[in-house]
Amino acid sequence: MSNYVFVIDTNKQPQNPVHPAQARLLLNQGQAAVYRRYPFTIILKESKPELEIEQITLKIDPGSKTTGITLVQGNKVIWGAELTHRGQTIKMSLESRCLLRRSRRNRKTRYRQPRFLNRKRLEGWLAPSLQHRVETTLTWVSKLIRFAPIRSIIQELVRFDLQQLENPEISGIEYQQGELQGYEVRQYLLEKWSRKCAYCGVKNTPLEVEHIHPKSQGGTDRISNLTVACHDCNQKKGNQDIQDFLSGKPDLLPRILKQAKQPLKDATAVNSTRWLLFNRLKETGLPVSTSSGGLTKFNRTRLNLPKTHWLDAACVGKVETLKVLTNKPLLILATGRGTRQMCGTDKYGFPTRHRSRIQIHKGFQTGDIVKAVVTKGKKIGFYLGRVLCRASGSFDLVTPHGRVAGISHKYCQSIHKKDGYSYGF
């Protein structure tokens, strides 16, 4: 079942989302028109008697690469999305620019005084790749607030602090362990070791927390001494030291020891941005509450839901029961809005081509989502995808089945203007 459809009235005020079948009926009867394709929204043509607006909670599960977003009405999950960020692409682009600028500086202005010590960053500054994660999430929060009657926001943020709210006197080892003991550590290890056995690499099997250096030989419970292993490998290793257990695999031993000491990069990125995102969410004027990652895992396991970003978002906060009314979340990929670079270069920085200042051709812009119904020629058929424009009017369409070249602009009809994202289901 697809996501529920957003509805706005003639004054563009959000109404209760409706089932796709009901939205289709309104469109067929001429009572509504398509207002926006992604997320799919319809606008009513006539004002209707005011109905009671049901409150909707927006739940967010921030991630380093993908953020889960879910709308929950009571105990019903009516809309879900997975927002994939482009932080790594931004990081690589900045590193490439840095190398080119450094090379040019050494060649052209080698005697200029260095300036890397006279720069001052503002308080709360984040790297562009991290700031991007916050801004894209806020962009979609703002969109959803415009199209749905959202009354509160819940963000996965803190660790164990919820139990202190329930029991202000909690302290010591009781606070450190709490009701969710093991869920935080286990979730961390699963992410760190890519959800596969550290010794044999098997996936999609129950994994157990395992001590690299056995406790019987002085090993500790520190995260750097823990890994995940399948039941067979865990039993086979027993209380052996890892040096003895992997004596026949000299290539695997140094990799495990190195990875065990490395921090979880993705978790670090989330920790760097979570408070900024929380403070920015409060600027929306809606009540914002927080939840623990361990509680999310606890809820998902108790409700027997699969591991996905959008269902993780649905399990954020206090959840008794959940009725999932959709199984096709909107997949959102941040693609950027192009580049202002006027001279295309190769990987070494040498110019190879000139870029035109004109971006709109025949009413279309590269990145628009269009549909083309070709009625004659060698490419007769129906095509739907992102368009690549040329001044000649001969466009290319990138469809789910591949790239189609040489489609005339006369057959193209725009259905969604370029907004820096691509969409799928």
107 within a domain of the structure (yes/no): no
User: For the ranges 8-12, 197-201, 260-264, 300-304, which has the lowest average pLDDT?
Assistant: 260-264
pLDDT, greater one: 223 or 415: 415
Q: What is the pLDDT of residue 174?
A: 45
Q: Where are the beta strands (DSSP E) in 46-198?
A: 56-61, 66-73, 76-84, 150-158
136 within a domain of the structure (yes/no): no
Can you give the residue range of the structural domain that contains 33?
Answer: 6-44
pLDDT, greater one: 169 or 155: 155
pLDDT at 153 over 90: yes
310 within a domain of the structure (yes/no): no
pLDDT range class, residue 176, cuts 50, 70, 90? very low
Q: What is the pLDDT of residue 400?
A: 84
Q: What is the pLDDT of residue 189?
A: 80
- Whole-angstrom CA distances from 50 to 46, 78, 124, 154, 277 are 12, 22, 44, 28, 34
Report the SS3 class of residue 163.
Answer: helix
Round to whole Å and give the CA distance between 59 and 51.
Answer: 24
pLDDT, greater one: 264 or 328: 328
122 within a domain of the structure (yes/no): no
Tell me the pLDDT of the chain averaged across its residues.
85
**What number is the average pLDDT over the span 166-189?**
52
**What number is the average pLDDT over the span 30-51?**
88
285 within a domain of the structure (yes/no): no
Q: Provide CB contacts within 8 A for 418, sequence distance 6+.
A: 337, 365, 366, 367, 368
Q: Where are the beta strands (DSSP E) in 246-399?
A: 288-292, 323-324, 330-334, 343-345, 351-354, 360-361, 364-365, 369-374, 381-388, 394-399
Looking at this protein, which amino acid is placed at residue 379? K
55 within a domain of the structure (yes/no): no
pLDDT range class, residue 214, cuts 50, 70, 90? confident
Q: What is the pLDDT of residue 271?
A: 75
% the chain with pLDDT above 90: 36
How many domains, in total, are found in the chain?
2
319 within a domain of the structure (yes/no): no
Highest mean pLDDT (candidates 181-195, 244-258, 336-350, 398-412): 398-412
Could you report the per-residue pLDDT of 68-122, keeping only the tens digit for each? 999 999 889 999 999 999 988 999 989 988 888 888 888 888 888 877 777 788 8
Could you report the per-residue pLDDT of 215-249, keeping only the tens digit for each? 888 888 777 788 889 988 888 888 888 888 888 78
Q: What is the pLDDT of residue 184?
A: 62
Strand 41-44 versus strand 6-8 pairing type:
parallel
Round to whole Å and give the CA distance between 113 and 141.
Answer: 45
pLDDT range class, residue 334, cuts 50, 70, 90? very high
Could you report the per-residue pLDDT of 114-131, keeping only the tens digit for each? 777 777 888 888 889 999
For residues 137 and 62, the answer to whether their CB atoms sit within 8 Å is: yes
**Looking at residue 198, what DSSP letter applies?**
T
Round to whole Å and give the CA distance between 75 and 73.
Answer: 6
% the chain with pLDDT above 70: 91
pLDDT at 265 over 80: no
C-alpha dihedral over 396, 329, 17, 422, to 10 degrees? -30
Looking at this protein, which amino acid is placed at residue 90? I
CATH number at residue 364: 2.30.30
For residues 404 and 320, the answer to whether their CB atoms sit within 8 Å is: no
pLDDT, greater one: 401 or 174: 401
395 within a domain of the structure (yes/no): yes
Number of C-beta neighbours around residue 388 at 10 A: 16
